[in-house]
Amino acid sequence: MVLTKRTKTWSNTKPASKEDAETHQERTDMMKRADVDEFGKFSKDGREFQVGEAMKARGLTAQYPVIIIPGIVSTGLESWSTSPDYRAFFREKLWGGLNMLTQVTFNKEKWIAAMMLDPLTGLDPPGAKVRAAEGIDAASSFIQGFWIWSKVVENLAVINYDTNNLYLAPYDWRLSYYNLEVRDGYFSRLKTTIEGLKKRQNKKVVVAAHSMGSTVRHHHLYTYETFKWVESPLHGNGGIDWVENHIESYISIAGTHLAKAMTAFLSGEMKDTVQMNPAGAYVLERFFSRQERQRLFRSWAGSASMWLKGGNAVWGSALHAPDDACNNTHTHGELIAFRSLSLQSNDDTTRNMTAEEAGLWILQHTPTTFQKMLETNYSYGIERDEEQLRRNDLDHRKWTNPLEGKDNEFVDAVDTECTDPDSSGCEVLSNPLGRTLLRKSWIDSDYTNNSAFPKLLNGVKMGEGDGTVSLVSLGAMCVEGWKRRRWNPAGIKITTVELPHRPTVSMPRGGANTSDHVDILGSTGLNEVILKVATGVGHEVTDNYVSDIQGYARRIQWD
């Protein structure tokens, strides 16, 4: 038996009297104060502006315009719907800010309805209209006291950056990248913004992207040679020299180049996406059940861009994986592994699975609408033929995969009863043998084994990485994949900088030397890299390794 943690929520009914209304407001205010206090400890810690001041003391100043592309759940989202059902939300933030906490506490079902996307079109559901917030504040902080990009902005401001030469490119991270252009014209506007900055400043642009933002960049960028969308004559039509003429440097920060997580799509469990960012995970896990998170994630096609790419060639087999240590007791090649329990020991539905097997298994137990969304928007294989890679240039499904994978394998979901897009109450899934999967498998958060190698923490096998993204996903393309002509035909120089993770235990966000997935945005080392590139001394940034990513990358089956 497994128990789902549930949180107490207040009724959404209208207060019956003035006293009830006052009590309701007091509860709202109390809830807000509690969460503000909880996040407040993550705010200022004395490091503000220090990196910028050090660069300014060297006589360095703004040289290149800077564009910031945030990661998943980092951009605030606000309602623009005027329909009666959602009119109370108009111009209020549904994602990010204190209002979100109020809505998910007191008006959760209506909030879910507004935040979910139509499972068939991947666009706005009837009556709802949610759009990305605009401006630098759209992703500076997730909520009061929990910064995201604000440390970077503060340091850039010291060396003469402002809204004239610094632009944050917010986007609705729920959408597939194709629909970002269809609905919001995102890539058209980004192209125009870059061209405008180049014209006004007479300087090329530096682009800095974090986490899922690096995958947005893949959709825009063709292996550092041309921006795929911009280059495509069917889309941006910018020509093959557009990047050469407009982009000075690109900085990928904690990029989800090859994968991030899978279980959220299957069961809504987030133990392996714990810091997508921590504040976003906090909201989703505090206020929503696994089933509710499952519904949300499956409708948010943007998150599916972080599906595993490269299959077993990248992630390994049941016998070994590129990032296995020499004395490991269990291979990372088995992406999903089960403990042998007496009731499950002979059950084929609980066999250990490699990346390819796990991906197929998850697809077999998700709605057909989710499968179709994945098929029509993304690629997750590996392509080694250079001629086929060139033919892929016009296929938008390939643009989020730096390996330019082959066509997706569509799985007919005849083995699942959960094919109805609105089947929120569907709980019984059947496997190919016809046996029920109800409660047969889950991430066992009560299970920890520190003697295993790699160790198991709260049901999750811990590998190397930044606390969220695995080391292979973070660095394999940087140190090996993009060093190969087929994926970097222009031979653009790639510099890889690994920063040691040396958090200060007494500081909630880790302090100046953390390399956690989100907290790294406030680290001294990363801010120095960004400011050096922006001020024209990027040549001072050199390769730096603190892990064996080079060795791991060499063991991947690239050829």
β partners of residue 131? 78
Tokens describing residue 467:
């606390």
d(CA 276, CA 509): 15
The answer to whether residue 347 is catalytic is no
Of 211, 299, 379, 430, which one is the catalytic site residue? 211
Alpha-helical regions (H) of 346-385: 355-364, 368-377
**How many Cβ atoms from other residues are within 10 Å of residue 119's Cβ?**
20
| Dihedral in degrees, nearest 10, Cα atoms 498, 499, 501, 503 | -160
Inter-residue contact 131 to 172 (CB < 8 Å):
yes
227 contacts: CB under 8 Å, gap ≥ 6: 191, 220, 221, 236, 238, 242, 243, 247
Of 172, 466, 516, 519, which one is the catalytic site residue? 466
- List the one residue out of 322, 277, 308, 273 whose CA is nearest residue 294: 273
382 class by beta-carbon count within 10 Å (0-12 exposed, 13-18 middle, 19+ buried): buried
Tell me whether strands 166-168 and 66-69 are parallel, antiparallel or unpaired: parallel
d(CA 337, CA 332): 9
Of 303, 517, 519, 523, which one is the catalytic site residue? 517
How big is the chain, counted in residues? 559
Inter-residue contact 399 to 383 (CB < 8 Å):
no
75 contacts: CB under 8 Å, gap ≥ 6: 95, 96, 132, 133, 138, 139, 170, 171, 172, 173
Tokens describing residue 299:
């409708």
* Region at 315 (left for phi over 0; alpha for psi -120 to 50; beta for the rest): alpha
Measured in degrees and rounded to the nearest 5, phi and psi for residue 140 equal: -70, -40
Tokens describing residue 207:
């682009």
The answer to whether residue 516 is catalytic is no
The answer to whether residue 210 is catalytic is no
- List the one residue out of 98, 97, 78 whose CA is nearest residue 89: 78
Inter-residue contact 461 to 332 (CB < 8 Å):
yes
Which residues does the annotation mark as catalytic? 211, 466, 517
